[in-house]
Amino acid sequence: MKRLCVLLAILLCLCACGQTAEPPATAARPTDCPASYRDAPEAYWPFLDSMYRFVQAARRIAEEEEAPSERLVDWGEWPSLEELPLGPLFNGGECFLGYAVEDINRDGVPELFVLTQGDWTDPDEPGMWPHIWMLFTLQDHRPVYLTTIEWRTVGKLAGDGTLYISGNRDAVYMKSLLSYRLEPGAAELTLLAEYYNEITLGVGEAWYEGPYEGGGPVIPREEIEALRELFWNPPNPMKLSFIPIEQ
């Protein structure tokens, strides 16, 4: 009897060894969103789903030429794209909103950029809207929001991953230059440099080394012109491949 029990135990072990564990089930994709997003890790898909739904709702609003009475999408924990103007979002039916994926600090973790295509601008004020709108990274396989490049500003990437942001902080009287870097494995941007100016009516403008609230030293005009050139034309600019959200 004892020998029979041993044989049965061995047989059960052999049967178990012959089975393979099934992979964990993947959550079903929303039926009103794309089945996948090209080049984007799955961790970014929930935000891209919200982005896709926003474009669909914005298209309907733009076609009706009516201002939305409420938010178009429930963004949940994600930053909202609601400040984007709906009118210029489409041109001849084509959507000018998309994304790109690029590992800007070469740490093996790809960052997600929300982009507006280069020729999508306000016809009355060309260049007012940024090409890079938002930036995310991943921590523990979860998206982490890093920054929004706001209205009237432009963000550009150097080949070493430095992000240069230049533009107006308000309509007329204050401009700024800021540069950031995402260190490997980091969950927030590191501020490298900050400059701002104030325009005083009847006096002119003066540039200071920031932060804005600090009243830093005045920067000579020749130096600020070189800085403006650096921020507008960074060295070895990194090219981001625009992927339309409506693929």
Give domain limits for the chain: 36-244
Averaged pLDDT for residues 176-201: 88
pLDDT at 8 > cutoff 50: no
Q: Residue 18: count other Cβ atoms within 10 Å of its Cβ.
A: 7
Lowest-confidence segment of 31-35, 132-136, 201-205, 220-224 by average pLDDT: 201-205
Helices and strands (H, E) in the chain, number of each type? 3, 12
Taken in order 63, 67, 69, 75, the sign of the CA dihedral is: positive
How high is the pLDDT of residue 72?
82
* Beta-sheet strands, E only, within 129-189: 132-139, 142-148, 153-157, 163-168, 174-181
Cis-peptide, bond into residue 211, ω within 30° of zero: yes
Predicted TM-score (pTM) of this structure: 0.79
How high is the pLDDT of residue 110?
96
How high is the pLDDT of residue 118?
54
How high is the pLDDT of residue 19?
40
Instruction: Report which of residues 153 and 182 the model is more confident about.
Output: 182
Q: Is 120 helix (H, G, I), strand (E, B) or coil?
A: coil
Left (φ > 0), alpha (ψ -120 to 50) or beta: where does 99 sit? beta
Task: Please report which confidence band the pLDDT of residue 49 belongs to, taking 50, 70 and 90 as the band edges.
Answer: very high
Predicted confidence (pLDDT) per residue in 73-101, tens digit: 888 888 888 877 666 676 666 778 899 99
Instruction: Report which of residues 236 and 2 the model is more confident about.
Output: 236
Averaged pLDDT for residues 121-141: 72
Task: Please report which confidence band the pLDDT of residue 169 belongs to, taking 50, 70 and 90 as the band edges.
Answer: low
How high is the pLDDT of residue 2?
42
Task: Please report which confidence band the pLDDT of residue 7 belongs to, taking 50, 70 and 90 as the band edges.
Answer: very low
Q: What mean pLDDT value characterizes the chain?
A: 77
Predicted confidence (pLDDT) per residue in 216-228, tens digit: 788 888 898 899 8
Q: Is 155 helix (H, G, I), strand (E, B) or coil?
A: strand
Averaged pLDDT for residues 166-171: 68
